[in-house]
Amino acid sequence: MSTLEQNVKKLYRHLDRFQSNGVLNRIAGQDRAGSLGVFENSSPVDRSTICQVARGNTDDIDAAATAAADAFVDWRDMAAKERQSILIRIAEAIEARAEEIALCECWDTGQALKFMSKAALRGAENFRYFADQVVQARDGQHLKSPTLMNITTRVPIGPVGVITPWNTPFMLSTWKIAPALAAGCTVIHKPAEASPLTARLLVEIAEEAGLPKGVLNTVNGYGEEVGKALCEHPKIRAIAFVGESRTGSLVTKQGADTLKRNHLELGGKNPVIVFEDADLDRALDAVIFMIYSINGERCTSSSRLLVQETIREEFEAKLIERVNNIRVGHPLDPETEVGPLISEEHFNKVTSYFEVAKQDGAKIAAGGEVLGDKGYFVRPTLFTNATNQMRIAREEIFGPVLTSISFSTEEEALQLANDTPYGLTGYLWTNDLTRALRFTDGLEAGMIWVNSENVRHLPTPFGGVKASGIGRDGGDWSFEFYMEQKHIGFATGQHRITRLGV
Ligand code: NAD
């Protein structure tokens, strides 16, 4: 039996329970059907039905918000060491079930196992990393004044909502939920409607690892029904949102009446800039990895290649050869590098840019075709002869599609790189140190890598500028979002109090 066949067999063993019971909401440690019935979840691999999913509404959010509010004080006040050991047990349980998580994620989202097996383990790493910091998360400062001993302390903000998208959903959810729990918040998780499976696994794993009932609640459903209700709920103190920029704007509006604190991680149209003096072989590997891995459905993908005119022809020729070699196939085949796109709607969006590119005068140098007729497969695509004004250079396509644009001078490269509504990441390839310092100083992006692909280091700040978001995750930045600073001043003597009405 081939490895693919073995993986498919294992997958079906794990899917059995979803096919029989569907994906229910989990509120206060109980399964709950959706108030609006169910919606259907299908696989992008062959469009087959995976399962029915609970379709929630404001009533389900209200029940979950009550559960999260009821569970808050005990969770907040639990001894830090005890909370820490629960988070570590969750990490261990994720590791123990990493294969099941990865297989379900691949079938649900179309992502290749090659990348998803690591993504499941990164979820465990997120729990371990924030568990390590539980004890000191509430530490503060001592700011002595002439008459007062001032101290600061940090306290968890309260029940929070976490709204996640369908791209690498397990890893992304843990990136939000782990620090929220470590801070002492309780959580309502609203997973993307297209990828509900691993969110269900996460809440089960967490409860089995000892997380008290109601500390993590999962409510499935559509954004405008469940996500909106979560943003509007008065018991929810903050929303950590990951998704499209225009949804981020809705999240802000919906939270206005209840004065929500929002953290928005949004879209990108990230540039990778390759100068003639760079290590071009490494640059080529990184350019390819950062747009064609994870199906290009990645917020930090480098979807705009800015390449110096002097090396453009040679660089693009090598790129075309490699892009044409990328293995598109069944996500559970260990050899597969690119799987199918998440949904019919997204497939239609991505493939519509093939025509847009032609109409705008760009050249389809590789790909630009769909593959097969069962699932949502497209060939990895490269557009050349493009300008930064074309739609293929301005809009987030969110698929395995790269737009190549040439530049002559450093000034022009910087101007092109910054001429975008977005500002999530930037990637710079040059061996000129002074240029790297100058260029990164001028580049409008929340995260920049020089002579490297995106390599995450959990203590560093993660987030974007401009339309790519507001706020940062990572290290202590995560705790800043999920916690409130509190100042307490103690009089150290009998300082003079101004007397009125004497
Ligand atoms: P999306 O905005 O359509 O959906 C994201 C989530 O928001 C889903 O759970 C959805 O149901 C919910 N939602 C939809 N309408 C809502 C509303 N009115 N109120 C509250 N919630 C609502 O995004 P998507 O298509 O699922 O994901 C892809 C997008 O996510 C891309 O733009 C990508 O760049 C972005 N993304 C950003 C980051 C980052 O860290 N910056 C990471 C991953 C993905």
Quick one: 133 and 150 in the same domain?
Answer: yes
Q: Helix H segments across 193-244?
A: 197-208, 228-232
The tokens of 205 are what? 């794993």
Q: Of all residues in the chain, what percent carry a pLDDT higher than 90?
A: 100
Q: Helix H segments across 209-332?
A: 228-232, 245-254, 280-292, 309-325
Quick one: 279 and 209 in the same domain?
Answer: no
Quick one: 81 and 198 in the same domain?
Answer: yes
The reply to whether ligand 1 has any atom less than 6 angstroms from the CB of 426 is no
Question: What confidence tier does 162 reach under pLDDT thresholds 50, 70, 90?
Answer: very high
**β-bridge pairing 216-218 and 187-190:** parallel
> Has residue 108 been placed in a domain?
yes
* Rounded-to-integer distance, Cα 338 and Cα 336, Å: 6
Q: Of all residues in the chain, what percent carry a pLDDT higher than 70?
A: 100
Told to judge if 231 belongs to the known catalytic residues of this protein, a careful annotator would answer no
Quick one: 170 and 293 in the same domain?
Answer: no
Quick one: 156 and 286 in the same domain?
Answer: no
Quick one: 261 and 275 in the same domain?
Answer: no
Predicted confidence at residue 86, as pLDDT, reads 98
Told to judge if 299 belongs to the known catalytic residues of this protein, a careful annotator would answer yes
Of 225, 231, 299, 337, the active-site residue reads 299
Which atom of ligand 1 approaches the CA of 243 most closely? 30
Choose the residue to mutate in 164, 167, 246 for probing ligand 1, maximizing ligand atoms within 8 Å of C-beta.
167
Predicted confidence at residue 165, as pLDDT, reads 98
The reply to whether ligand 1 has any atom less than 6 angstroms from the CB of 266 is yes
The reply to whether ligand 1 has any atom less than 6 angstroms from the CB of 240 is no
Residue 254 Cα to ligand 1 midpoint, Å, equals: 15
> Has residue 5 been placed in a domain?
no
DSSP per-residue string spanning 330-396:
-TTSTT-SB---S-HHHHHHHHHHHHHHHHHT-EEEE---EE-SSS-EE--EEEES--TTSHHHHS-
Residue 5 Cα to ligand 1 midpoint, Å, equals: 33
> Has residue 461 been placed in a domain?
no
The reply to whether ligand 1 has any atom less than 6 angstroms from the CB of 474 is no
Question: What confidence tier does 305 reach under pLDDT thresholds 50, 70, 90?
Answer: very high
DSSP per-residue string spanning 90-104:
HHHHHHHTHHHHHHH
Predicted confidence at residue 385, as pLDDT, reads 98
Which residue's CA is the nearest one to ligand 1's atom 23?
Answer: 243
> Has residue 92 been placed in a domain?
yes
Residue 239 Cα to ligand 1 midpoint, Å, equals: 13
Residue 266 Cα to ligand 1 midpoint, Å, equals: 7
> Has residue 430 been placed in a domain?
yes
> Has residue 275 been placed in a domain?
yes
* Rounded-to-integer distance, Cα 306 and Cα 26, Å: 46
The reply to whether ligand 1 has any atom less than 6 angstroms from the CB of 196 is no
DSSP per-residue string spanning 422-489:
--SEEEEE-S-HHHHHHHHHH---SEEEESS-----TTS-B--SGGGEE--BSHHHHHHHHEEEEEEE
The CATH code of the domain that includes 413 is 3.40.309.10
> Has residue 2 been placed in a domain?
no
The reply to whether ligand 1 has any atom less than 6 angstroms from the CB of 244 is yes
Which residue's CA is the nearest one to ligand 1's atom 10?
Answer: 223
- Reference 339, options 115, 132, 496; nearest CA is 115
Question: What confidence tier does 59 reach under pLDDT thresholds 50, 70, 90?
Answer: very high
Query: 176-226: per-residue pLDDT in tens?
Result: 999 999 999 999 999 999 999 999 999 999 999 999 999 999 999 999 999
Which residue's CA is the nearest one to ligand 1's atom 8?
Answer: 192
The reply to whether ligand 1 has any atom less than 6 angstroms from the CB of 398 is yes
Question: Region 98-123: what's the mean pLDDT?
Answer: 96
* Rounded-to-integer distance, Cα 103 and Cα 164, Å: 19
Residue 57 Cα to ligand 1 midpoint, Å, equals: 18
Residue 247 Cα to ligand 1 midpoint, Å, equals: 6
Question: What confidence tier does 494 reach under pLDDT thresholds 50, 70, 90?
Answer: very high
Of 265, 337, 395, 396, the active-site residue reads 265
**β-bridge pairing 401-407 and 304-308:** parallel
Other beta carbons within 10 Å of 29:
16
Quick one: 226 and 304 in the same domain?
Answer: no
The CATH code of the domain that includes 177 is 3.40.605.10
Residue numbers of the domain that contains 305: 271-450
CA 411, distance to chain mean position in Å, is 32
Residue 265 Cα to ligand 1 midpoint, Å, equals: 9
Quick one: 262 and 283 in the same domain?
Answer: no
Which residue's CA is the nearest one to ligand 1's atom 15?
Answer: 223
Quick one: 286 and 228 in the same domain?
Answer: no
Which residue's CA is the nearest one to ligand 1's atom 39?
Answer: 265
> Has residue 170 been placed in a domain?
yes
* Rounded-to-integer distance, Cα 181 and Cα 80, Å: 11
Query: 381-410: per-residue pLDDT in tens?
Result: 999 999 999 999 999 999 999 999 999 999
Which residue's CA is the nearest one to ligand 1's atom 13?
Answer: 223
Predicted confidence at residue 391, as pLDDT, reads 98
Quick one: 184 and 224 in the same domain?
Answer: yes
The reply to whether ligand 1 has any atom less than 6 angstroms from the CB of 399 is no
Quick one: 158 and 290 in the same domain?
Answer: no
Residue 246 Cα to ligand 1 midpoint, Å, equals: 9
Predicted confidence at residue 145, as pLDDT, reads 97
Question: What confidence tier does 6 reach under pLDDT thresholds 50, 70, 90?
Answer: very high
Quick one: 331 and 186 in the same domain?
Answer: no
Question: What confidence tier does 426 reach under pLDDT thresholds 50, 70, 90?
Answer: very high
Predicted confidence at residue 274, as pLDDT, reads 99
Q: How many domains does the chain have?
A: 2
